[in-house]
A and B are shown apart, each in its own frame.
Chain A
């Protein structure tokens, strides 16, 4: 960027290890949060908030979850959709349970319900993470793919999960926190945003702590990591647990806030792939990359359906969806070959180039 750290001296390790050590970055992030919390709900349309911003945020949260597992700990997973489904259904079961024991009143607060759902997803994630102690790479991907299909099957097969609803599709309970009902799209958006902002910060803190370093050590060189004292069992399973926790919370939010219904079809294999693409395009091993990737994948279809007509190029709806596939495919191949660290890395390379611009020698 056009600013740099020159003149900003750090006098303690605490300042040096801050998430945003440069003043301008802190101001920028503060402004972005301000816009996100106040500007967007006030200034934009309901459609924009409920159809673009809310799903974007929830998917970004799921992408952070997968990024912890794949980007930081190096364990590839195709079970993201499954873990999100676990979160959604666990939240639904907790919510109906709390209604059942409290009469009409919910006895477990909604926020706690969602966090508990994350914990259940974490437990399931650990269970499906056990194979990672023996297998790596593609083989692990297949094992997690099994998790995806198995979870979907279990949720459809056993009526207990849907409280024996005949259609298998159930309506999520209303969003009520301490007597306040989050009802309009704007309010739901704020609810989601608060969750995502807090959890993104938590994820960032985690990956810069000794736990995150353990994940990266296992990713970069597992034998050396073991020899300096990281226990592969703890390190890998904690990555699965934390990752699935994030996915589970994202799943619960997706069902409760975005869809309003709880159904396994919302968490199919396509969802898992979409989130994996977000991580690949956004940047593996980067929290901000998860947001960039989620924004990219949510916005590209909207961009494609709006821009060609705008410039007078009339293409059909089917053509648009075909183009979507083509563009995604090409981009994923491009990023896997050229820049595995994704858009986030391109952004930081750009910043580095600009530091010495216009005299790069």
Chain B
């Protein structure tokens, strides 16, 4: 496949007119939007508006019945989630989806799996190339662990960690894949103020330092308006607003959707 490089400010991913329904339930109807390279893009909307479904479409978990998704200039057909991962799309989940039986370190190491090539035989020997590969990736993962300030829980099974830290480990696992586009599904849900501030700092740092494009879903309006470059608003599966935070904040449709019509 041709690898197109996208320069900052150009469109990295564009979604044209997609619709997704489950039986008679229409989760997304005719939504178009785009994500530019290097920006922090937020998707907001009331519960059930189709935000998570939208992320699921982007990383190939759902296949929209209608419309196209163009990533790095290539319009793609229905693809499997691991193919999306191979193209540089990583994500975190609304309900923490860590591998509970594994340590923090191993969880983040799983994020590197697409870059690890040694086969079964080489791995059984744990010698030479396979070992060298493992150590190289360990070094990279240790950088992420330092970056997220979770050095102390490196060897702890993630099932025993408090919720806020689990969210952080999950971000680490997504970062380990060195994604070009990072999808965050409610990264701050259920966190206290301090944890939220930490998470915001990490998200902005990831965006600044690694140049990762971020698309996030969040309910905390203060956070969304502060950290995102552009905001899209969904309601009942349709797009009702799109623009820079200030525009969206003052949009009458958006206000109606959040507060109920007729106010």
Contacts and interface: CB of A to CB of B under 8 A. Distances in A.
B159 to A, nearest CB: 9
Interface string A196-218: 00000011011011111110110
A207 to B, nearest CB: 9
B65 interface: no
Given A224-B93, A225-B99, A210 B123 contact: yes
A216 B102 contact: yes
A14 interface: yes
Contact of A17 (B61, B84, B118, B138): B138
B81 interface: yes
B99 A227 contact: no
Contacts of A208: 126
Q: Is the interface of A mostly helix, strand, loop or mixed?
A: helix
Given A210-B113, A214-B110, A224 B118 contact: no
B99 A224 contact: yes
B111 interface: yes
A248 B90 CA distance: 39
Interface string B83-110: 0111000110100011111100010011
Interface stretch (A49-57, A228-236, A256-264): A228-236
Nearest to A245: B120
A228 B98 contact: no
B125 to A, nearest CB: 7
Interface string A155-190: 000000000000000000000000000000000000
Given A229-B177, A242-B120, A221 B97 contact: yes
B82 interface: yes
A224 B98 contact: yes
Nearest to B109: A213
B99 A14 contact: no
Interface stretch (B129-137, B203-211, B223-231, B235-243): B129-137
A206 B125 CA distance: 8
A220 B166 CA distance: 15
A52 B71 CA distance: 62
B97 A224 contact: yes
Nearest to A241: B120
List 3 A-B pairs, minimum CB-CB distance, nearest first: A229-B85, A220-B99, A209-B123
22 contacts: A14-B131, A202-B125, A205-B126, A206-B123, A209-B118, A209-B126, A210-B123, A213-B110, A213-B113, A216-B106, A221-B98, A224-B97, A224-B98, A226-B80, A226-B81, A227-B61, A228-B85, A228-B110, A228-B177, A229-B81, A229-B177, A230-B110
Interface of B: 59, 61, 80-82, 84-86, 90-91, 93, 97-102, 106, 109-114, 116, 118, 120, 123-126, 130-131, 134-135, 137-139, 142, 173-174, 177
Given A210-B137, A216-B106, A221-B99, 18 more contacts: A14-B131, A205-B125, A210-B113, A210-B123, A213-B106, A216-B102, A217-B113, A220-B100, A220-B101, A221-B100, A225-B110, A226-B82, A227-B82, A228-B85, A228-B177, A229-B85, A229-B113, A285-B101
